[in-house]
Structure 1
Amino acid sequence: MTDTAIDTRNDTSGGSGSDARKIDIATRMIAAWKAMDWDAAAALFTEDGVLHSMMVDPIEGRDAIHKRISGLGELATEIILDVSNMGVINGILYMERVDRFVYNGNTGAVPVTGVFEFEGDLIKVWREYYDRGQLLREMGVAQDFDHETR
């Protein structure tokens, strides 16, 4: 992580659900992706959590999220979520970053904004905003691996 901005105007108590705790959970997610530890990444979601790349249908449920991210990770040899800014506003965490990866021999990088909603100490919803066409080109994928794009 390069430069992290933390907005602590709302809740700085450090307890469950605090802004600092949300930053900690997001930081653990970043580390899980770098380690390609899909069990650890999925465990940070609620049982009925949602992972939603906004240009495709959402993935719902911890097991489905695990299946999705571990499946994508099978062809990756490196994944780094390079965060430039992260902060919590009104209880929602915003993360601006560049995802850097080696996927099936292709080295790529894509700017992304992630938005996290929490339920206690777990992620309830993670929304991702990025250029899908750029991601697929950087991955070297000729056809979108999601069948039901919007």
Structure 2
Amino acid sequence: MTTSPDLAPLDIVKAMTDAMAIKDYDAALPWFTDDCEYTNMPMGTVTGPAGVRSVLEPFFAPTTANEFIVLRAAVQGNIVFTERLDRHLIETGWVELPVTGVFEIRDGKIAVWRDYFDLGTIVRQWPALAALAG
């Protein structure tokens, strides 16, 4: 997948989450700037595409399907706000997590990604995840 500075900010976010949903890191990671900051608010911040991968690859490893359902979105300039329902299929069934994401787009790529969610909501459904959360 080729990134494009001509895409609308929301389309950039959707392209990345579509690739991430199928665990296509080679397609998802080019959507991030080299110095991007990715923060899962309950868990911490990583920097750069390698940092994003270091968080998401182990998270997605036990999943057999993933969905990022955008319920609502708002765009103001280069900032994208999403209200999502993230769904992950694991051995015991679907795990559903309401998430609010904030993305800052710079030169056609994601420079900042912050996800806000309740850690307890996901750990109750996916107890093995507690080890990854620290």
Pair in the same fold by TM > 0.5: yes
Indicate the residue corresponding to 1:125 in structure 2: 112
* Unmatched tracts of structure 2, length 5 or more: none
Tell whether 2:71 aligns with 1:78: no
Match of 2:132 in 1: 145
Aligned partner of 1:112 in structure 2 is 99
Higher helix proportion? 2
Instruction: Tell whether the 8 Å contact from 1:48 to 1:61 is kept in structure 2 after alignment.
Output: yes
CA distance in 1, matches of 2:129, 2:53: 24
Assess if the C-alpha contact under 8 Å between 2:78 and 2:106 holds in 1. no
Counterpart check, 1:47 vs 2:34: yes
CA pair 110-142 structure 1, distance change in 2 beyond 3 A: closer
Within the alignment, does 1:32 sit opposite 2:32 as a pair? no
Shift in Å at residue 29 of structure 1?
A: 1.5
Q: Does 2:48 match 1:61?
A: yes
Greater radius of gyration (CA): 1
Q: Is the CA contact 1:39–1:66 (under 8 Å) kept in the aligned structure 2?
A: no
Which residue does the alignment assign to 1:4? none
Give the superposition deviation at 1:33.
Answer: 2.2
Distance 1:75 1:121, change over 3 A: same
Identity %: 27
Tell me if the contact between 1:96 and 1:113 (Cα under 8 Å) persists in the aligned partners.
yes
TM (normalized to structure 1)? 0.78
What is the alpha-carbon distance in structure 2 between the residues aligned to residue 77 and residue 105 of structure 1?
Answer: 11
The aligned length equals 131
Comparing 100-109 with 42-51, greater Cα deviation is found at 100-109
C-alpha spacing 1:101/1:142, structure 2 compared with 1 (3 Å): closer
Instruction: Return the structure number with greater strand share.
Output: 2
CA RMSD in angstroms comes to 1.9
Where does the alignment leave 5 or more consecutive residues of structure 1 unmatched?
1-14
Moved over 3 A (4+): none
Q: Distance in 1 between matches of 2:109 and 2:122?
A: 27
Residues 142 and 116 of structure 1: is their aligned pair in 2 closer, same or farther, counting only changes over 3 Å?
closer
